[in-house]
Structure 1
Amino acid sequence: MKKILFTITGMLLVLCFTSSATQAQLKRFSIGPFIEAGFPVGSMADNYKTGYGAGVGADIKLIAGLGVTGSVSYMRFPGQTVTDDGGNTYKVDALSAVPVRLGLKYKFIPLLYVKVEGGVANLTGDYDGGAAIFSPGLGLRVLGFDFQAKYEAWFKDGTNGFWGLKAGWNF
């Protein structure tokens, strides 16, 4: 898994440096850090508290408002203390993951866009394996600031879903 993360990070950095050097005036490529918060819904809300994360995202503009987007981040949802039907109380382990997402982005007007992403959330810590991701969202980009509201679903042994808010800066 570390090999995959290093490869993806390396590819994003190479794209950043080559694109900014060769197409600086076209501004067809941007990369930057972001932070995000996830507010669990459904069965995920029964076991986990609000999650937080940080990562790096990139955009490549294609044609007529259409673009490709990708990101690598780290998310952590602290576990809650839960009481089962028998009255026993126990603590749910935190859910940590490294989501890798790719998607399409379409700008309706210069500041507003919609976006849909898919990918894999590589579970770490007490959980093992990966979960498939589906994440539609709506965003606002003002100068270099990027704000997004989204719904994200992780599919593994059922669905873990959350509403998310994301804020970042693009170079």
Structure 2
Amino acid sequence: MKNKLFLMMAVLLMGSLATHAQLKRFSLGPYVEAGFPVGDFGDINKTGFGVGLNADIKLIAGFGVTGSVGYMRFGGQTVGNTDFPAVAAVPVRVGLKYQLVSILYVKLEGGAANFVGDLDGSAFLLAPGIGIRVLGLDVQAKYENWFRNSGLGFFGLKAGFNF
């Protein structure tokens, strides 16, 4: 699974470099993120960490389209005599982005979190956020929820660099 994810990211990066000269309004780059689980999810899982690849396409009047694919893992905890497993997923997100002022934006993403490891299946995800982008550096704060039997919600901080 890790080899397939690495291969997919490498292909996307090479494709981006080839088209970057043609599409000035397109950017692509890596990101890292941290997720702080809340509610019942926070009671049984530790802080999560992830990596991935993000793409942005600028449209008109401050609007844009964004998308990302990555890997995110929340460690499990022991509560009482019960061991809860880690939660790992490959989230695939697409969304809309609106630039409020020159460096400040809001965005709303949706997609699927495809579980790997101890859990199987997938969950619908929804992630509103706010961020700043200065040159290529992009920093975002968000709340993301993976809707499965019960919601797996977390506050996240995401930092990336777009080329």
Say if 1:34 and 1:168, in contact at 8 Å, map to a contact too: yes
Measure how far apart 1:80 and its partner are.
0.8
CA distance in 2, matches of 1:135, 1:53: 15
- Structure 1 residue 34 and structure 2 residue 34: aligned? no
Measure how far apart 1:17 and its partner are.
3.2
Secondary structure of 1:103's aligned partner: strand
Say if 1:12 and 1:58, in contact at 8 Å, map to a contact too: no
Aligned residues: 163
Instruction: Tell me the equivalent position of 2:86.
Output: 94
CA distance in 2, matches of 1:37, 1:7: 23
Instruction: Tell me the equivalent position of 1:19.
Output: 19
Q: TM-score, normalised by structure 1?
A: 0.88
Secondary structure of 2:102's aligned partner: coil
CA RMSD of aligned residues (A): 2.0
Which of the residues 59, 76, 101 maps onto 1:62?
Answer: 59
- Structure 1 residue 117 and structure 2 residue 109: aligned? yes
Secondary structure of 2:56's aligned partner: strand
- Identity over aligned pairs, percent: 59
Match of 1:64, as an amino acid? A
Distance 1:8 1:60, change over 3 A: farther
Secondary structure of 2:76's aligned partner: coil
Q: Deviations over 1:36-71 (max 9, x none)?
A: 000000110111010000000000001111000000
Instruction: Tell me the equivalent position of 2:141.
Output: 149
Secondary structure of 2:21's aligned partner: helix
Match of 1:20, as an amino acid? H
User: Which segments of 5 or more consecutive residues in structure 2 lack a partner in the other structure?
Assistant: none
Q: Which has the higher strand share?
A: 2
CA distance in 2, matches of 1:67, 1:133: 20
- Structure 1 residue 44 and structure 2 residue 36: aligned? no
Measure how far apart 1:125 and its partner are.
0.3
CA distance in 2, matches of 1:115, 1:8: 25
Larger radius of gyration: 1
User: Which segments of 5 or more consecutive residues in structure 1 lack a partner in the other structure?
Assistant: 84-88
CA distance in 1, matches of 2:99, 2:40: 33
- Structure 1 residue 169 and structure 2 residue 136: aligned? no
Distance 1:135 1:168, change over 3 A: same
Which of the residues 71, 74, 84 maps onto 1:74?
Answer: 71
Match of 1:16, as an amino acid? S
Structure 1 residue ranges (4+ consecutive) displaced by more than 6 angstroms after TM superposition: none
